[in-house]
Structure 1
Amino acid sequence: MIPEPNAIPRFPDGFPGQRMRVLPRPVVAEALRAPTTSHVLVTDVGFFPRASSHGRARPHGARQSIVIVCAAGRGTCELPSGTHQVRAGQALLISAGTPHRYEADEHDPWTIWWFHVAGSGVAEHFATIGATVDQPVIGLGDPQRVIALIDTIIRRMERDETMSTLVAASGAAWHALALLAADRRTVAHDTIDPIEATIEHLRGASSTRVSVGELAGMAGLSESHYTALFRRATGYGVLEFQTRLRMGLARELLDTTDRTISSIAHQVGYPDPLYFSRQFRRIHAMSPSEYRSHDKG
């Protein structure tokens, strides 16, 4: 039996760093009648980092189907089929109308990227993924790719509620559902490499510096053990690997845009353009301007 909504603690002030967008229901109704968004339509989307005390109980289910990708920590979901554990690198899928209750773990609350989706094609997507009431949790070989698409949905929906935005969000959701189907792993048998999972997290957030402690926590390891395994996997220390990811993005911007060095430095996470240029020269043996002037391709 699924408990009533007030059986789960609420989060009145949200979570530091959270992002969330919810379409007005009249907009949803109109979009579900439009040919371009009637198949797959994102109605709600969000990112809840370390969502302590987060929980939802819907005894009669939700009007939309729900996709939750757990990036770190863990949580549980109670369905008519029983209680299911959700851990980092896994996705939870709940079909519309399915009674459910889910919540973050008390001691290791999850960090989740999520969206609600409606439309005539959603049930078919869920069937292709293999998500059912009995098996609502799937493992992901490359969770960061799905997370990146959910981030794209949030960014689009943060702009406005125009049809062009809804179409773009729908396209990203369709892609995310396709990846869930193509990349799924059976939770009972597959083990997700925690080091690779954190590496993919870094690749998806290359302009943001993430501490060794945060990454080690995501992997469930001590900092010293994590650092040794990370170097073995990449050949670099954690901070140097992040620097090289930033420089890869900087090279792309230098090659494909006319933006100033200062603007590029800020985008890839260096508030000080002079420090950025020193780091760039250390790795490339030339300045950003010199690199841009070279013929390539």
Structure 2
Amino acid sequence: MPIQEGFRNQRLTVVPRRVTAEAQARPVTRRLQVTDCGYYPNATDHLMRRPNGTEETVLILCAAGAGWADVGGAQHRVGPSAALVIPRGAPHSYGASSEAPWTIWWCHLRGGDLAELVGEIGVSASRPVIPIRRLDRAIALLDEIVTVLERDHSPASLMGAAGAAWKLLTQIAADRVMPAPGDPLQRAMAYLAERLDGTVRVADLASLVGVSPSHLSALFRRATGGGVLAHHTALRMAQARNLLDTTDATVAAIAREVGYHDPFYFSRHFKRLHETSPTEYRNRAKG
């Protein structure tokens, strides 16, 4: 139950439960639905206790200040640029720090696809707090959710809020596996992106960024689904497609530009990946 509510300049909207029940029967919102959302700036004395959990998954984004959470009997600190995600049904309580009360954006979610989305984020009742890498984008999406549902609770608005929530969750999930600025994976990816006109040895690249070849390969597999060389090839082929689409350069010249000295080998490789030759790709209608 809420112990304290009402914060200066707060925003809050609760979708009537009759409306959420109707939305559960519609094609899009049965998969993901925002049932409640809001914004609490400088939420001094904010405190919520739900000993029996709630029917929805709760997502709270701490934009500034700090707070705390007790989820399933375990205590967690929630600092700035972090998200607290509480699975449906998990007993919990949370509140603002007394020294530096948090500013939060929040929403309650339900839907058939929610469990998979939360799983991709990597949170659980035992690990409910995760860092948010791109805070500004996450805030913009939560602001969009709140703004849409402040306007009305029509099927179109509920669908729009669901779309923004889907984007928010998938963005958080994608950021989990992509490199942070300056870490070995990010430096390795930047190095490969700058060297599309030649080959790279995995051992040399690993040494350059300060990790073992096996560890670097594991980082690439986790982030991209493939190895180091597969990622480099994908970058080279993306540049080849761009040149085929935007220039009149010959196939041989494009091959050299992306590090293939034998244009016939380049063409065979291109066709194996794209199921069409470079010339056929260039002539194919697009758009």
TM-score (norm 1): 0.58
Match of 1:38 among 12, 21, 30: 30
Distance in 2 of aligned mates of 1:113 and 1:185: 24
Q: Deviations over 1:264-291 (max 9, x none)?
A: xxxxxxxxxxxxxxxxxxxxxxxxxxxx
Asked if residue 111 in structure 1 is aligned to residue 98 in structure 2, the reply is: no
Residue ranges of structure 1 left out of the alignment (5+ in a row): 192-297
| Paired position in structure 1 for 2:81 | 89
Cα drift, residue 45 of structure 1? 0.5
Deviation at 1:166, TM superposition (A): 0.6
Kept in 2, the 8 Å contact 1:140–1:185? The answer is no
- Once the two structures are TM-superposed, the CA of residue 184 in structure 1 deviates from its matched residue by 3.4
Question: 1:20 matched to which residue of 2?
Answer: 12
What is the rounded CA distance, in whole Å, between the counterparts of 2:71 and 2:153 in structure 1?
A: 33
The aligned counterpart of 1:172 is 164
Distance 1:184 1:22 in 2: 30
Q: Alpha carbon RMSD of aligned pairs, Å? A: 1.8
The match for 1:77 is 69
57, 63, 73: which one aligns with 2:55: 63
Instruction: Give the superposition deviation at 1:81.
Output: 4.9
What pairs with 1:135-154 in structure 2 (closer than 5 Å)? 135-154=127-146
* SS of equivalent to 1:36: coil
- 1:10 partnered with 2:4: yes
**Distance in 2 (alpha carbons) for counterparts of 1:98 and 1:50:** 26
Percent identity of paired positions between Structure 1 and Structure 2:
41
Following the alignment from structure 2 to structure 1, what is the Cα–Cα distance between the partners of residues 136 and 58? 18
The change in CA–CA distance for 1:21 and 1:185 in structure 2 (over 3 A counts) is: farther
Displaced runs of 4 or more, over 3 A? none
| Shift in CA distance, 93/62, structure 1 to aligned 2, threshold 3 Å | same
CA distance in 1, matches of 2:177, 2:65: 19
Larger Rg, first or second structure (1 or 2): 2
Q: Distance in 2 between matches of 1:69 and 1:18?
A: 15
- Give the number of aligned pairs: 180
Q: Which whole-Å deviations, capped at 9, do the CAs of 1:123-152 have from their partners, x for residues lacking one?
A: 111100000111110001111111100100
Aligned partners of 1:139 and 1:185 also within 8 Å = no
Structure-to-structure mapping, 1:271-290, within 5 angstroms:
none
1:184 is paired with a residue whose SS is helix
Give the secondary-structure state (helix, strand or coil) at the position aligned to 2:49: strand
Structure 1 residues 241-272: Cα deviation after superposition (integer angstroms, max 9, x where no partner): xxxxxxxxxxxxxxxxxxxxxxxxxxxxxxxx
